[in-house]
């Protein structure tokens, strides 16, 4: 599937056998889907949209679900998306996520245009996720940042 494609989802409602509470499955059982990590923003401020990741075509990509219409739009495409660490901006206008372990991208949710926010140097291997402050004016990387070791000498020189 390509960025911008729309997927109509069929919600499935059941009842919890222990409590009787109504449970709604938003994504299809034949497609593996998950939401981002628990401390990352995944809902629009008004609760109308949900950010999730799905493996609809063999690649993990981000989707934005309009909960009322049950329609999801594909936000990213291809291999390499870190689908656990992405998050929505406080103004609900952007998605921030890491591509190929080293590129922090911003996706405009209206145009789907991408902007490179940060790239880990070729001498380093970046892995992990990013966390923003409340207004997304500052970001901090969480996880590993390892220096590439191409030769024994580089290992000996590593501080």
pLDDT at residue 151 tops 60? no
Instruction: Output the 3-class SS for the chain.
Output: CCCCCEEECCCEEEECCCCCCEEEECCCCCCCEECCCCCCCCECCCCCEEEEEECCCCCCEEEEEECCCCEEEECCCCCCECCCCCEECCCCCEEEEEECCCEEEEEECCCCCEEEEEECCCCEEEEEEEEECCCCCCEEEEEEEEECCCCHHHHHHCC
Assign 152 a pLDDT band (cuts: 50, 70, 90): low
Maximum distance among all Cα pairs of the chain, rounded to whole angstroms: 64
In this structure, is residue 1 part of a structural domain? Answer: no
State the pLDDT at residue 40. 85
| Residue whose pair of structure tokens reads 């789907």 in the numeric block | 112
Q: How many alpha carbons fall within 13 Å on the CB side of residue 99?
A: 21
Domain that holds residue 63: 6-157
Q: What pLDDT shows up at residue 114?
A: 98
Going by pLDDT thresholds of 50, 70 and 90, the confidence category of residue 131 is: low
The pLDDT tens digits of the residues spanning 35-85 come to: 887 778 999 999 999 999 999 999 999 999 999 999 999 999 999 998 988
Residues 13-37 have a mean pLDDT of 94
Q: What is the pLDDT of residue 38?
A: 77
pLDDT of res. 1: 78
Alpha-carbon span 127 to 41, nearest angstrom: 20
What is the total count of domains within the chain? 1
Give Cα separations from 139 to 1, 95, 97 (angstroms): 30, 13, 12
The verdict on residue 92 lying in a domain is yes
Between residues 154 and 50, which one has the greater pLDDT?
A: 50
Q: Does pLDDT of 143 surpass 70?
A: no
Left (φ > 0), alpha (ψ -120 to 50) or beta: where does 75 sit? Answer: alpha
CATH of residue 104: 2.130.10.10
């Amino acid at each position: 599937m390509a960025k911008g494609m729309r997927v109509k989802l069929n919600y499935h409602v059941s009842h919890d056998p222990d409590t009787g509470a109504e449970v709604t499955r938003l994504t299809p059982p034949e497609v593996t889907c998950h939401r981002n990590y628990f401390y990352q923003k995944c809902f629009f401020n008004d609760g109308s949209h949900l950010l999730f990741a799905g493996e609809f075509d063999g690649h993990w990509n981000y989707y934005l679900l309009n909960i009322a219409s049950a329609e999801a739009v594909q936000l990213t495409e291809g291999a390499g998306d870190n689908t656990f660490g992405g998050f929505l901006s406080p103004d609900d206008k952007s998605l921030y996520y890491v591509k190929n372990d080293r590129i922090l991208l911003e996706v405009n949710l209206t145009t789907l245009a991408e902007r490179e926010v940060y790239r880990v140097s070729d001498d380093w291997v970046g892995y992990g996720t990013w966390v923003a402050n409340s207004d997304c004016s500052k970001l901090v990387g969480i996880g590993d940042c390892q220096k590439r070791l191409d030769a024994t000498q580089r290992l000996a020189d590593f501080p």
